Structure 1
Amino acid sequence: MNGLSLDSGLAAPQMRQPHTPPPKRDLHVEDVSVCFGNGGLKPSPGKRRKLVEKQDSLGTMLRRGIVEHQLGLSVNLMLLIGLSYVLFPALRDRMSAFFWLSYRSSRKAGLYDVGERDVYLVGSFIVFFTALRAFSLDYVLMPVAGWAGIDKKKVRSRFAEQSYMMTYYIIYWTWGLLLFIHETPSGVHDVRSLLVSLWSGWPYLDLSASMKVYYISQLAFWIQQIVVIHIEERRKDHMQMFTHHIITVMLLAGSYPGRHTRVGNAVLVCMDVVDFIFPLAKILRYLSMQTACDAAFAAFVVFWLASRHVAYNAILWSLYALTPNVTLHYGRYSTKDSAMLSDDAGTNMIDNLFQPILHPDAQYVSWNPPVRWMFISLLLALQCITIGWFIMICRVVMRVLRGEGADDTRSDGEDEAEDEEVDVVPAQASEPLRAMPEPEKSLPRFIEVEATGEDFTHYPKRKGSGSKRKSKGKGMSSGLNLGEHKDFLNRIGCLSDEQLAREREKRGDSMSPRPGSATDKK
């Protein structure tokens, strides 16, 4: 039949040779290792990210290198600038802007104007804050977390980060509040007059040394925070934080050369007051002081409402309603004495906003609708982000009222869960393979078994934990209830040496195979 003999596999059934099965060999539990599949389940997002990060791309290696050497890179850069200043006298006039305030005022002694050289000091503060943060976290705050009894590395890291932020905001909020009180005119007697004073007297041509350092260092800090959230491990609210930081930098970078430092100082004071209470609440939670944490969180909610949704919106309202009808009318203002020259404001935004940098010799600067609406838009965008965060805060408040305790839903949950996730290949699962003698070639080395929901019973998730917690496994006992399946697992060679030993101790025998088991068949 087409060249096929009857001896082939197409022969009639009655003419085929009877099939003789191969001889069976004894198969013992210790000769078999089992590979479990995931039953078609997709890995969790945290595991997928870990698998991707294991493939070290150039960007990943660069980011990791910067994170691990932040202190060294910052110190070396500062030393380079310092040595350049010392070794090259011709550069000292330009290099001095990295260390000292520029543009002493010719109008009043002890005051300063603004200009392009201030950009150098912003760069110096960015490097300084990077070095300060790395040193504080690694050599001060992480050891403090250990002394406080915090064992988990991820929680120690969070404790150190929040402690650094709390310290920064306590210093800068106090500093900013003192500056605002000092700069407030004596004729202020109510809220309306206070809001009017934010815009009166513009442009503010002379700044005190303290106000200039405060504003420049705040701008540098927020630029450095943009770098931090991109080089370090990303949080769940990365895009919200990135957008918030970009808007904050735009407001600071526009209000400083635009000579709106007084209203900018007021906005910073409103924003910073809650930024040291919230880290305090998180620190108390890391220290397992839940009652104090809840009390701090309650204070945080009150101050958040008062500062970011009442005082902040009052400043925004003053910009919309009081200018240009009541104060700071549209027009040209002198850069010599802040006097209004004409009501011709023009429509150019960039040249007027950055006049000290782009046109330092200009005789006037304009306050016009494009500049006003630019500030209104940025302040509104920042308020929208804070409203989104306030919705998350309300969810935490509801949990506190239900007695579940305050917890941060924005960023910690995912990271803490990842810190406790089971590794892709558990270390203990590979130990028996190293200890086992090399089996015969004819014996199977692995048996593929699909682990599905019908085979095992998972423990239910605990409610109110605030994070997706997974416990690390030992052998095959991680998160599984093996009680009624031990005999089945023993027959297919699933139990680890540790589990077999525990079973022997429970039964008081040598774990002899039962009749009908895999090791009893021949």
Structure 2
Amino acid sequence: MANMEDLAICASAGDVEASPGKRRKQSEPESLWGMLRRGIVDHQLGLSVNLLLFVGFSYVLFPSLRSKMSAFFGLSYASPTQSGMYGQGSRDGYLVASFIVFFTALRAFALEYLLLPLAGWCGINKKKGKVRFAEQFYIMVYYILYWGWGVLLFIRDTPAGVRTVEGLLISLWGGFPRLLLDSGMKLYYLSQFAFWLQQIVVLHIEEKRKDHYQMLTHHIITVSLLAGSYSYRQNRAGNAVLVCMDIVDFIFPLAKILKYLSWQKACDAAFALFVITWFLWRHVAYCAICWSIYAHVNNVTMPYGLYSTQTGAKLSDDGGTNIMDNLFQPVMHPGAQTLSFNANIRWLFLGLLLALQCITIAWGVMIIRVVVRVLRGEGADDSRSEAEDNDETEESEHSPTQHGSVLQKEKPRYIEVETTSEELRSYPKRGGGSAGSGSKRKSKGISSGLNLAHNKEILNRIGCLSDEQLAREKELREGSTSPGIRPGSEGR
């Protein structure tokens, strides 16, 4: 028997009310945050475009504001002596804000007008399946582009004399503090920072997933590392960490896209590539960076001490103990002449990186479980997100759903009931009258599927019998005490 809260009766208008569970859910008042969240989700594109237009028109119409508004559209802190090189400061936050709005508009436009239609064209019928397909496709394209961009920047920034893995790791920390960075690295870093901030916003305004808090923790740590490494002039090391992360993040969406397309063998192959890449980049290469902080920083390169923010030269061996004033010096103290590096800052970076690795290990355990399912022949599935086979809004009611390699029919959500004049005439009169002597008044047919006589009690409890049917049921119960009628024989 179906759960009563999920039970619905196909009936003519006015005969049937919604089930009690549905009535309670619909009658609950929506919170202010719920209405705001729904409004933002429904109008992401419009709100984002209007914000961008507002900033653009403000720049055009108010010349006195142009010096400040220009930070929303271009890079700030250009070096007066070196062309194409830039410093860091608080005005960089304006460009980050513009990128957040831009990514929100881009994502909303791509999902609504490009990727959701593409999902339908690919034969995905479920609404939730289309949304997941579109989201994963967008993420895949983003990470392909940014991983390629990050690799090019890293190769270009690698010293020519590096020949070994250890030498490559040591080069991550060389030249501290790098007071200037080129336009490509700055644009890459600020846009990545904006993307991860926008992902935190997406987590809170869209439907909550099963791994919401793990993802939130991951995003907060990532944003903290990006903010700290950028302002502390550790752009090369941050670039290396992003490259290690991004290569995995475009292979995994590819595997999920293949799953939504029901290409199970291709999905399993992509998942195998994902597992190998995950292990090599997120546990080997990433942990090598963490090990380098422990083994090389202060021992081989980047010693503790006080450095000049004008020339980058080391002034003394005393780096003090302060963290925040040095870590965010370009923002908190832009006029400071010195910058310190000490053990507290070193262990803070290492601690955040290891915290990120702990989350990665937890996800790795989930991946191992999926590997076990694949080896058993059950197919690859994402255990980090909620199950998608409980979609309530479908465009094709009778289409089978793909789960792993097994096709399962959609569970019926409706019990259909039929009452006809013939069935009504079969009810005995009060006192045990014969069948056929009852009222010949006809009632409207509703639909077919369930024998009413055997399910009156259920239908009565959920309020799905008409007044006429309830009256006849009452007569039947009162007449069942007569000698000529045995209990349980009605309707036969």
Q: Same fold (TM over 0.5)?
A: yes
Q: Residue 54 and residue 36 in structure 1: after superposition, are their counterparts in 2 closer, same or farther (change >3 A)?
A: closer
1:80 paired residue among 54, 77, 101: 54
CA offset at residue 210 of structure 1? 0.7
CA offset at residue 286 of structure 1? 0.3
TM-score (norm 1): 0.75
The aligned residue for residue 390 of structure 2 is 417
The aligned residue for residue 205 of structure 1 is 179
The aligned residue for residue 299 of structure 2 is 325
1:106 paired residue among 53, 57, 80: 80
Do the aligned residues in 2 keep the contact of 1:98 with 1:124 (CA within 8 Å)? yes
Do the aligned residues in 2 keep the contact of 1:491 with 1:517 (CA within 8 Å)? no
1:395-474 equivalences under 5 Å are: 395-413=369-387, 415-419=388-392, 471-474=411-414
The reply to whether residue 394 of structure 1 matches residue 359 of structure 2 is no
SS of corresponding position for 2:306? strand
2:89 paired residue among 115, 136, 140: 115
Distance 2:107 2:48 in 1: 11
The aligned residue for residue 135 of structure 1 is 109
Distance 1:334 1:466 in 2: 65
1:489 paired residue among 446, 449, 454: 454
The reply to whether residue 238 of structure 1 matches residue 212 of structure 2 is yes
Distance 1:52 1:257 in 2: 49
The reply to whether residue 126 of structure 1 matches residue 100 of structure 2 is yes
Q: Which amino acid aligns with 1:200?
A: G
The aligned residue for residue 266 of structure 1 is 240
Structure 1: gaps spanning 5 or more residues: 1-29, 422-461, 478-484, 498-513
Do the aligned residues in 1 keep the contact of 2:268 with 2:380 (CA within 8 Å)? yes
Do the aligned residues in 1 keep the contact of 2:380 with 2:404 (CA within 8 Å)? no
Supply the RMSD in Å over aligned alpha carbons.
3.1
Larger Rg: 1
1:1-150 equivalences under 5 Å are: 51=25, 55-150=29-124
The aligned residue for residue 190 of structure 1 is 164
Structure 2: gaps spanning 5 or more residues: 1-11, 395-401, 418-449, 466-483
Distance 1:53 1:239 in 2: 29
CA offset at residue 489 of structure 1? 1.5
Q: Which amino acid aligns with 1:329?
A: P
CA offset at residue 332 of structure 1? 1.1
Distance 2:38 2:317 in 1: 55
Q: Residue 265 and residue 34 in structure 1: after superposition, are their counterparts in 2 closer, same or farther (change >3 A)?
A: closer
Do the aligned residues in 1 keep the contact of 2:154 with 2:240 (CA within 8 Å)? yes
Distance 1:322 1:329 in 2: 9
The reply to whether residue 372 of structure 1 matches residue 372 of structure 2 is no
SS of corresponding position for 1:256? helix
2:151 paired residue among 148, 155, 177: 177
Q: Residue 515 and residue 470 in structure 1: after superposition, are their counterparts in 2 closer, same or farther (change >3 A)?
A: farther
Task: Spell out, residue by residue over 1:449-505, the C-alpha distance to the aligned partner (whole angstroms, 9 max, x if none).
Answer: xxxxxxxxxxxxx9978999972322169xxxxxxx9696156585999xxxxxxxx
Q: Residue 377 and residue 386 in structure 1: after superposition, are their counterparts in 2 closer, same or farther (change >3 A)?
A: same
The aligned residue for residue 475 of structure 1 is 415
The aligned residue for residue 442 of structure 1 is none
CA offset at residue 419 of structure 1? 3.1
Distance 1:472 1:337 in 2: 73
SS of corresponding position for 1:108? coil
SS of corresponding position for 1:341? strand
CA offset at residue 384 of structure 1? 0.3
Task: Spell out, residue by residue over 1:259-315, the C-alpha distance to the aligned partner (whole angstroms, 9 max, x if none).
Answer: 000000000000000000000000000000000000000000000000000000000
Distance 2:82 2:188 in 1: 20
Do the aligned residues in 1 keep the contact of 2:126 with 2:393 (CA within 8 Å)? no
Task: Spell out, residue by residue over 1:100-125, the C-alpha distance to the aligned partner (whole angstroms, 9 max, x if none).
Answer: 11111134221111111101000000
Deviates more, 1:104-113 or 1:252-261: 104-113
Q: Which amino acid aligns with 2:454?
A: L
Count of matched residue positions in the alignment of Structure 1 and Structure 2: 418
SS of corresponding position for 1:365? strand
Q: Which amino acid aligns with 2:390?
A: A
The aligned residue for residue 139 of structure 2 is 165
TM-score (norm 2): 0.79
Q: Residue 76 and residue 491 in structure 1: after superposition, are their counterparts in 2 closer, same or farther (change >3 A)?
A: closer
Distance 2:163 2:18 in 1: 75
Do the aligned residues in 1 keep the contact of 2:306 with 2:340 (CA within 8 Å)? yes
Do the aligned residues in 2 keep the contact of 1:148 with 1:287 (CA within 8 Å)? yes
Q: Residue 490 and residue 516 in structure 1: after superposition, are their counterparts in 2 closer, same or farther (change >3 A)?
A: farther
CA offset at residue 412 of structure 1? 3.6
Name the structure, 1 or 2, with higher relative contact order (CA <8 Å, separation 6+): 1
The aligned residue for residue 435 of structure 1 is none
Q: Residue 132 and residue 487 in structure 1: after superposition, are their counterparts in 2 closer, same or farther (change >3 A)?
A: closer
User: Once superposed, which parts of structure 1, at least 4 consecutive aligned residues long, lie more than 2 Å away?
Assistant: 33-38, 50-55, 418-421, 462-470, 485-488, 490-497, 514-521
